[in-house]
Structure 1
């Protein structure tokens, strides 16, 4: 690999074109030459995730929203609340519906008119993690036991797909739920529950909930996907790395560092030592994501007070 920069330096544009041609023609060999020196083609360390940012409240028409950038991967999560009749088996609980969207604009691999194969898989995985982690207390979405509760529609839109889609989708979902604000609601003369807005609404109608409120989030899940190639563990792979490496493991841990789920996709069987290394990296990543999430809300609060 050391010869590549030298060739590029000596040959100028011709040298750079030669390196790029080698990268395209022999992607696995190109990657392995980097891994031999414990570095990746984008200059990251093997255990290093890409820069991550969170924008809060980016969709004004939603009750909660967030935009997450994980390197070049971009995810927009929005939550809309609707009043519904709770199911008979859980009359004092609300519910959550999750849908992950991959429009053609997000990747050249997604064709117009053809649903992305990964979309329903990620939708199901997100819903499972959000429920099993205990982050959401569905009883907080109840309005009138047996009569009315909130249905939270969580839609995640992949704006740019450059690897680790589940990680970015989960983080944007968490940020959107943290931003979510439950609106005021009232009961009409006909028994119908509806949302109320403005000062006039507060005085004209009898309110079910006296003030807007946030959800009380429990153990928040955070995830890290690792690509596994021979003895190398690559944290937060981009799309180029994912296209080359067949085996990946996604680790989800909660805010108490408890293991929520382990998902392995394709490839050879991973050793227990490798899985433990991935879990350790996921716990370290959890601490970094918590700092990023906390910082984004502190910045938002400061901006709102100015």
Structure 2
């Protein structure tokens, strides 16, 4: 004989939208959160000794790791004194959503690929325009600049990868220490790069961009949607703010049109959440700086 909990679980599996809407009508969600309540977020830096900078972010059960490797390269002829930064994004096949997409086939895999592409596009734009002053990572104009490889890996995907990935990338970039490099001239030979690890320096202070994401389920606005909720959303979008509270825009890569009242509510809710997210980033930065001094 089925218990009430068994019946609820069966209804949730067969009719997930109706199940979720039943909760949303009461202002709560199946996981117990209020509609505009975000999950707990934690960030730590300097997790990978082999990287020039790294960070780990947990957002609920979503887990993202970012690592930055610095490589001296010859600059582009068109920008002889400008460094480069390249972002890659991987969603591990062993993550819950990655594994589910592989099992469910092309439909789920296609949705995951679109999400990954949209997230990567924003991450790349952010690192190039906000997180790194590319002119400051020039070693010697026309001869050598730094190329920063930022690899972002979603180890566990339980929704809202963008917010976790953006924070992980930001903390990893703030953790970067570049070794002092000099070009040593040699008679009849190409100059040699001499790296002095003991003189590693931080990147110039960036202007971080913070993402706070929302979804719409049956006309209800929900903050920080889980993976289960994202599948039910008619649209998802992210509100972008700078650290000082300046509004940077909405990132909405597709989905149904977003009514203005819902957009306004999301912007207001995001602005209230921003100080806590900035605080997580600053605490991560302070801890990493302290640990760097101890090494």
State the TM-score, normalizing by the size of structure 2: 0.88
Q: Which position in structure 2 is the counterpart of 1:203?
A: none
The question of 1:68 aligning with 2:65 is answered no
What is the distance in 1 between the residues matched to 2:116 and 2:25? 34
Give the structure with the larger strand fraction: 2
Alignment of 1:84-95 (within 5 A): 84-95=73-84
Unaligned runs of 5+ in 1: 1-10, 199-210
Unaligned runs of 5+ in 2: 104-108
Is the Cα contact below 8 Å between 2:152 and 2:169 reproduced in 1?
Answer: yes
What is the distance in 1 between the residues matched to 2:44 and 2:226? 21
C-alpha displacement of 1:170: 0.6
The question of 1:126 aligning with 2:115 is answered no
How has the CA–CA distance of structure 1 residues 248 and 110 changed in structure 2, closer, same or farther, with 3 Å as cutoff? same
Query: Among residues 219, 236, 240, which one is paired with 1:252 in the alignment?
Result: 240
Q: Which position in structure 2 is the counterpart of 1:212?
A: 200
Q: Which position in structure 2 is the counterpart of 1:192?
A: 192
The DSSP-based 3-state class of the residue aligned with 2:191 is coil
Larger deviation, residues 103-112 vs 216-225: 103-112
Q: Which position in structure 2 is the counterpart of 1:205?
A: none
Is the Cα contact below 8 Å between 2:218 and 2:234 reproduced in 1?
Answer: no
Q: Which position in structure 2 is the counterpart of 1:144?
A: 140
Is the Cα contact below 8 Å between 2:237 and 2:253 reproduced in 1?
Answer: yes
Kindly provide the CA deviation profile for residues 39-89 of structure 1, in whole angstroms up to 9, marking residues without a partner as x.
Answer: 111111111111101121111100000000000000000000000111122
How has the CA–CA distance of structure 1 residues 229 and 120 changed in structure 2, closer, same or farther, with 3 Å as cutoff? closer
The DSSP-based 3-state class of the residue aligned with 1:279 is helix
CA RMSD of aligned residues (A): 2.2
Is the Cα contact below 8 Å between 2:171 and 2:284 reproduced in 1?
Answer: no
Is the Cα contact below 8 Å between 2:131 and 2:173 reproduced in 1?
Answer: no
C-alpha displacement of 1:231: 3.8
Question: How many pairs were matched up?
Answer: 281
Is the Cα contact below 8 Å between 1:92 and 1:146 reproduced in 2?
Answer: yes
The DSSP-based 3-state class of the residue aligned with 2:221 is strand
Query: Among residues 91, 101, 109, which one is paired with 2:100 in the alignment?
Result: 109
The question of 1:159 aligning with 2:147 is answered no
Query: Among residues 279, 282, 287, which one is paired with 2:270 in the alignment?
Result: 282
C-alpha displacement of 1:157: 0.5
What is the distance in 2 between the residues matched to 1:177 and 1:145? 23
